[in-house]
Structure formats: C-alpha cells, structure tokens
Amino acid sequence: MKNRLANRQAAGLRTAFAACAMLLLMPCAMAQNTHIEADATTRLAKTREPDTALGRLLQPVDNRGFECGKADGWDDACLKARYQGQPAHWPRPVIDMGKNWTEMSAVPAVQPPADAKARAKLELGTALFFDAGLSRKGGVSCASCHQAGKSFSDGLAQAVGEDKLMGRRRAQTLFAAPFASHLFWDGRAASLEEQAKGSITNTFEMNNTLAAAVAHVNSQHHYRKMSRQIWGRDKLTTDQMVTAISTFVRTIRPPTTKADAVIAGETALLNDQQLLGLHMFRTKARCMNCHSGPLLTDNEFHDLGLSSYGRRNQDLGRFEATRNKADLGQFRVPSLRGVSQAGPWMHNGQFGNLPGLLRLYNVGMGAVGGDPEQDSYVPPKSAHIKALNLNAQEIDALVEWLKIL
C-alpha cells in the first residue's frame, strides 16, 4: 500500500512539473472551440414562424444610433475602416454613466522566478495544485475542478468534490484570479491564500482540515526536500503550503488566441462576422460595462436576475457572505478569456448553450419575482442589464468573437 501511494505521489509530481513547464511556456495557441455551432441563432430562427419571438430575430434592425450603423444593419466598409490599429483607436465602447472600465489590452506577462528559491516555490506550488493528497480521502485536487483545457474550470454545472458530493456552484475559471481582490463567486476570500484554505476545508470540495493537509505534505520526502531549499527547514507550515499553491495560481494565464493579435493591432485577421462581433461586444451588446480590461472582467459583483429568489435553488450570492442587502443576488464577474471552453456558464452552470445564453442577454436576462416594496430582500437586478435588440445576425457574430477570445 505504501509503495503504491509513493508511486502515485511520484507520478503526480512528474505530471505537475510537466504542467508547470507547459504553463510557463505560455502564451501558446489554443484551438478554437469546435462544439459551438456557427450561426446557431439564425438556423434556429429559420425554423420558427416569422411572427414569433425567435422568428422576428431574422428581421433587420435600425442601428443608426451606433457608429457604422444603418437603418437596416451595418456598414461593413465603415467597420473595417474604424477598426484599424489598437483598441484606443477603435470606436469607443458603450459604457453606462459613472461605470469604471479599462480598455482591452494584452494580458500581463508572468514574471519568471527571480532565483532558485523562487523557482523551487513555484515547483512546489504546482505539485500541490495537482496533489489529491490534500483532500481527506485523496480523491480530489485543485486541478480536479480547475483543468487547463477547460479554461481552468471543469466542464460541470456544479463542482464535484470529495465522495462525489456536488456543491451549489460551478467551479470558476482561474484566469482572473491572480488579479482579483476577492475570490469565489461570492467574494468571501480576500486573497488566493485564503481561497486555498477555503477549498481544502470546504465539505463539498476537499473536505479536509488544514492540519491534516499540511501533515500529508510534510510526510512526503520530495516536499520536505523542497521545503529545505525554500525555507531552510524540513516541514512546511499551513501558511507556507497555501503560499506555494498561490504562487502557482499567480502564474496562470489564458493562452494566446487570435483576439490577442487583434488587440495588438492585427485587425485584418478578423473575418467580417468576427469583426461585427467585436463591434457588438463594444457597442450595441454593452458587454464592456462588465467585461473590460486585459482579462475582460471588472472583477466586481453584479446581479443578472439569476438568484432564483424564493424558489428551490435560491442562491443570493455575495449577500450570503456579507449579509449586506446591497449584495443581494450578486456574483463575481468571470473573465471572458477562453469563455468558449469554460461552459456550462453562470454561477450555477445553468446554461450549456452559449448562443442560447446570449439570446437571454438579448431580452434582458432573468426576471426576479417579488415586490421590493413589500419584501426588502428581493434582489435588484443590475442597471447594466438591459434588453439589447440584437437580431440573429448580430447574436451569431457576437458568438464568433467570443469563440476566439
């Protein structure tokens, strides 16, 4: 039994080191997601009667209120002319009054380890990220729920932890985690170190104690060797353990895609549909009210009307961590980098179809039941969420832009 466990640990360590090497070599190209059908909304609308809500999505719309807009659509020549160079020279995004935002830009590069000790700490953190021994029964690791090929999520509607217990929420992607001041969907962790502790001890995640987790680490010869190299002592403390894990997480970056080249000024790489999608993202679809900057998130909390207030699957988001009514129904905004690989979407993984999710955004997202005049706990939907009046062509174009992020 001990030999099998030792072999398992050694194999896990080799896997972790290989993953570390891969991640440190980023940016690398990520293949475009092939599971999201092109022109899905147009195809669907064509199967419906013209006077239905879906059928009407085939009708042209008057876009004269937007730059390059026409009475029956968009001026393609105008779009190509306006999207030259880098984002500062593009049409200004549609941003609500008073909303803080930052322009699209390159993702900050990972700084290489400064010395041998820093390199050893990164290697240790990488190994621990992949080590299922941190869980009570050795069944799950950090990497179980945060997989590189799925934008560091797991492809499940709700995360599954020790003993196959399912949590209430989906595993978030980690691309924005190195830059966020509050972690988890409800922001209950104020640092990556605090997040690591929370995941180790959560009943529905690793279901362990910090003392047992660090005892596992200190029982492994290779970890003790690393500890001596980094801290000059054989055994790690709990804080050193989570610091090492956080050191690895801080190196996680989204792979480079066509969108990065576009943001760098190579807009000619976009086909006409992707260019229209970029314009939708910045203007008519209002996406940059919440998804701006290098990671395409404001790292804030917003209510989209998806709290299921008063129903069986109610989840009041950040309010459950703060008990502040201003936080009712609010969830942390995820990065849209790698979004096409990150489904199913939203905090509860309720949406497995990206075009369908955008159609819901198009009509103003979810409706919250209850009268706030009578019930002060009715979550108020974000003022940034409004009906968009996109037609099928525009929704399909937006999907194509999202697929290359």
Per-residue pLDDT tens, the chain, 405 aa: give them: 434 444 444 444 444 444 444 343 333 333 344 479 999 999 999 999 999 999 999 999 999 999 999 999 999 999 999 999 999 999 999 999 999 999 999 999 999 999 999 999 999 999 999 999 999 999 999 999 999 999 999 999 999 999 999 999 999 999 999 999 999 999 999 999 999 999 999 999 999 999 999 999 999 999 999 999 999 999 999 999 999 999 999 999 999 999 999 999 999 999 999 999 999 999 999 999 999 999 999 999 999 999 999 998 999 999 999 999 999 999 999 999 999 999 999 999 999 999 999 999 999 997 888 889 999 999 999 999 999 999 999 999 999 999 999
Burial class (CB in 10 A: 0-12, 13-18, 19+), 229: middle
pLDDT at position 366 is 77
pLDDT at position 35 is 79
Dihedral Cα 213, 215, 219, 220, nearest 10 deg: 30
Q: How far apart are CA 100 and CA 119, in angstroms?
A: 36
Helix (H, G, I), strand (E, B), or coil: what is residue 69? strand
Q: Which of 277, 279, 276, 275 is nearest to 266 (CA)?
A: 275
In this structure, what token pair is assigned to residue 320? 């459950």
Query: How confident is the model over 363-388, as pLDDT tens digits?
Result: 999 788 888 999 999 999 999 999 99
Helix (H, G, I), strand (E, B), or coil: what is residue 20? helix
pLDDT at position 17 is 45
Q: How far apart are CA 206 and CA 311, in angstroms?
A: 28
Q: How far apart are CA 61 and CA 5, in angstroms?
A: 63
In this structure, what token pair is assigned to residue 98? 């008073």
Q: Which of 339, 332, 343, 253 is nearest to 300 (CA)?
A: 332
Q: What is the largest CA-CA distance in the chain?
A: 74
Do the bridges between strand 69-70 and strand 73-74 make them parallel or antiparallel, or are there none, so unpaired?
antiparallel
User: How many C-beta atoms surround the C-beta of residue 224 within 10 A?
Assistant: 16
Q: How far apart are CA 26 and CA 151, in angstroms?
A: 13
pTM of the model: 0.90
Q: How far apart are CA 82 and CA 93, in angstroms?
A: 13
From residue 246, alpha-carbon distances to 171, 295, 299, 304 in Å are: 17, 19, 18, 30
Residue bearing tokens 């290489």? 112
